[in-house]
Structure 1
């Protein structure tokens, strides 16, 4: 029996490829589509669903609305279908709760359950060439459990790789985790420990939220936050700056020179990185002040501190840091260390990686030997195998080429999905549900 060849195989089924699934159904239903997802069920940041935290994003910038305001899969319709529309509109919040948005994403994902294989983590992508022309006509994708899938095109949306800075990058200790693992790691560390000591490393929105959450938990006796900055910065929320999340800015950024891209990123960094919203900054400052009033040392914030070492110790994980201005030092042991240090982008700098691990076989085929992938305006890999390449797209990994809208934000998910679907429609001839 001949193995089925899908028109489109999506790797990962988080928000980016869920938005793609909705766009394919509404714009190109003629294609056969399948997705592989390593999780056991659809989920969005389950390790960071902190009580009271919001999404920092306008709710109408959801999986579909900017592309199709009439879509069944909108956040507004999710609220309506679940009898929560009026109650939600009455909430005294600027942005939806992260917990509710996670439920929305799961709600949309459920409509496409038959197209998804959960607990299927892609392990390898093998280009399959035509025996006569040498053209790469499709791909064989193998999962960790040995299953194989054939597809005429691939849309990669595995999520970004966590950035683990020195000295943590060489440490293999279950008590040191990236923020994505925070809630389960906290629960594990708290087992049999009613005086938990937690360290949070970083100066981002997530770092501030983690400090607030950890310091409010029963059984946590001490929380310390480490940042190299002089202070936690407020996010740039100017409406002028937020035009960085407009579709038009993607065009501007993509066609800019490398020098101007770098200049724009330096200027706009505080719209997304190493900053926090004023509401959580105010909460943390008040909590720190209250601790001083009560003469407690349960919350400690160490600014201007560069961490010099992190090592397993008899009583936990020992962190040693130094104040880069006055030279004062800190040394302390913790039961849990959480790295709120962000994620890698594509590139060759410190906080970047040349390409996702799965795409290294394709990266090696680049004609000019470039160390990083060449990405087209439509998010498609270019400059490989003389252009004789079945389409491969990066969905949500292109900040270095397309700008801040690809930095893990929901703002352009729907528009990016549309661009990918339109490109696929130009390059694939539908072969039917059982196409071979």
Structure 2
């Protein structure tokens, strides 16, 4: 057990905290820091690296370029250093392949492995008085401990598992976060696979399943009438400009809710034209061959779900407009049901799970959800050490914080500035405490 107290302990080392590590290095910050990550090695969306899938985002909105376009950690420099710049420039694609961007993330992370402890499963965080100062004690891998004056949670958003599927998660019912690992283990006897959702990821998974298993029946289930085109208007996409955060942050809850409904199609329950067209063409082409193995079950709500004695997934369905009932038996079900936000709303959670024992000691709204400040910090009601949420703040900061790369580098600039101010208030010198 180390008695070193770090100025910053970052939990999670996905793109958000990786961008923070870059900012800490490039600013020559005096802060001491360490990151803990549950994975064996840094990666990005490893369970959704599907053939042909792209990132739906301008590649210059990377880990660092909007903050520091001269950085060595930008996507363009990655292409140059790996000898793929001209191959990339010749690609007939609007956006980079997801697999290529994942390689970029891993390439950048490789420069910071000395700052990260991998295979580190954080079980709890608790405040305590240690050698005369208030710090966070972070317990991971059952018995290991790390101390930090500040926590930066960059754990990614919690998977949204609809209540009807609670208790069923496993090898037959699983979130897209675990898509490839479970699909690869699916027994050959499985013939009927379902996908819940109408997002970009849902369409991509249906396409992948039909290509991966040409002999299986694929069912797409969603409440809406059709797959909707993503709103890619350059005017709507100003939601991913930094000034939008300043506009959005100060709005009333009612105004935010109204704006969220208007802008939802830029990111949620919608898909890009290329994948929608590809799916429609594939269904049509199979019909020409006398096949009808891709079934679109639209206007459908799942009322009940259970796994029977044989391991099959049994669903009770309701047509949401005609109010008729039916049932469906599947061998596996993929939940493309998105992720939770910090808010008291459908698909929301009041606080990150790690803060469950302490959330009442921070400022909350009338519904009990954590209130996040403009600099992504939380306001403690007593003497708790500082906490920042890195990439978990869509409800307070808008769609640019919804797992998108668009504003990631500018977000960590705000966090780093606040961290530096906190350091100035710490009188105890940075040292290993015996």
Interval containing the TM-score (normalised by the shorter chain): over 0.9
Give me the whole-angstrom Cα distance separating, in 2, the residues matched to 1:377 and 1:280.
36
Per-residue deviation, 1:367: 5.9
Which segment is superposed worse, 214-223 or 58-67? Answer: 214-223
The answer to whether structure 1 residue 163 and structure 2 residue 160 are counterparts is yes
Tell me the secondary structure at the aligned position of residue 212 of structure 2.
coil
The yes-or-no answer on 1:427 pairing with 2:433 is no
Change (3 A) 1:325 1:73: same
CA–CA separation in structure 1 for the residues paired with 2:182 and 2:38: 19
SS state at 1:119 partner: coil
2: CA distance between counterparts of 1:27 and 1:352?
35
Please tell me whether the aligned partners of residues 30 and 432 of structure 1 are also in contact (alpha carbons under 8 angstroms): no
Q: Offset at 1:432? A: 7.0
CA distance in 2, matches of 1:228, 1:2: 52
Q: Does 1:59 align with 2:54?
A: no
Correspondence for 1:221 among 216, 224, 227: 216
Q: 1:427 to 1:220 in 2, by over 3 A?
A: farther
Superposed, 1:32-71 pairs within 5 Å as: 32-71=32-71
- 1:112 aligns with 112
Indicate whether 1:91 and 2:91 are aligned. yes
CA distance 1:220–1:32, change in 2 (3 Å): farther
Alpha carbons 2:363, 2:371 under 8 Å: kept: no
Counterpart-to-counterpart distance in 1, 2:406 and 2:149: 29
Where 1:128 maps in the other structure, the secondary structure is strand
Stretches of structure 2 that go unaligned for 5 or more consecutive residues are none
Verify the 8 A CA contact 1:214 1:220 in the aligned structure 2.
no
Instruction: Show CA shifts across 1:310-329 (max 9, x none).
Output: 22133621223122223444
Q: CA separation in 1, counterparts of 2:86 and 2:58?
A: 17
Query: Bigger shift: 313-322 or 81-90?
Result: 313-322
- Contact 2:317 2:328 survives alignment (8 Å): no
Distance (whole Å) between structure 2 residues aligned to residue 367 and residue 284 of structure 1: 46
Of 320, 326, 336 in structure 1, the residue corresponding to residue 322 of structure 2 is: 326
SS across alignment from 2:16 = helix
SS of 2:43's partner is coil
Query: Distance between the aligned counterparts of 1:334 and 1:37, measured in 2?
Result: 35
**Residues paired across the two proteins, number:** 429
Q: 1:43 to 1:432 in 2, by over 3 A?
A: farther
Deviation at 1:131, TM superposition (A): 9.0
CA deviation digits over 1:192-233, x for unaligned, max 9? 43x532100001000000110101113641100001001000
Q: Does the 8 Å CA contact 1:17/1:157 hold for their aligned counterparts?
A: yes
Contact 2:363 2:379 in 1 (8 A): no
Q: Mean alpha-carbon deviation: is it higher for 286-295 or for 351-360?
A: 286-295
User: 425-434 vs 376-385, which deviates more?
Assistant: 425-434
Quote the residue 1:16 is aligned against. 16
Among residues 388, 413, 422, which one is paired with 2:408 in the alignment? 413
Matched, 1:303 2:287: no
Query: Aligned-pair distance for 1:287?
Result: 1.2
2:229 matches 1:234: yes
**Alignment gaps of 5+ in structure 1:** none
Corresponding residue for residue 346 of structure 2:
350
Question: Is 1:282 matched up with 2:283?
Answer: no
Change (3 A) 1:23 1:131: closer
Superposed counterparts of 1:366-405, under 5 Å: 366=362, 371-385=368-382, 388-405=383-400
Matches of 1:170 and 1:417, distance apart in 2 = 36
1:182-221 map, 5 Å: 182-189=179-186, 191-193=187-189, 196-218=191-213, 220-221=215-216
Q: Distance in 2 between matches of 1:327 and 1:249?
A: 41
More displaced 10-residue stretch of structure 1: 138-147 or 51-60? 138-147
RMSD: 2.0
When normalised by structure 1's length, the TM-score is 0.94
Which stretch of the first structure deviates more once superposed, 219-228 or 402-411?
219-228
With normalisation by structure 2, the TM-score equals: 0.94
Cα contact 1:12–1:157 (8 A) shared by 2: yes
Q: Is the contact made by 1:396 and 1:407 (CA closer than 8 Å) also made in structure 2? A: yes
Task: Tell me if the contact between 1:35 and 1:116 (Cα under 8 Å) persists in the aligned partners.
Answer: yes
Residue aligned with 1:291, SS: helix
Would the aligned equivalents of 1:124 and 1:141 in 2 still touch at CA under 8 Å?
yes
1:297 CA displacement: 1.9
- Give matches, 1:239-258, under 5 Å: 239-258=234-253
Write the deviation string for residues 349-397 of structure 1: whole angstroms up to 9, x where unpaired: 2210010111123312136785121211000001421xx4432100000
Change in Cα spacing, 1:286 to 1:44, as seen in structure 2 (3 Å) is same
8 Å Cα contact 2:195/2:220 also seen in 1: yes
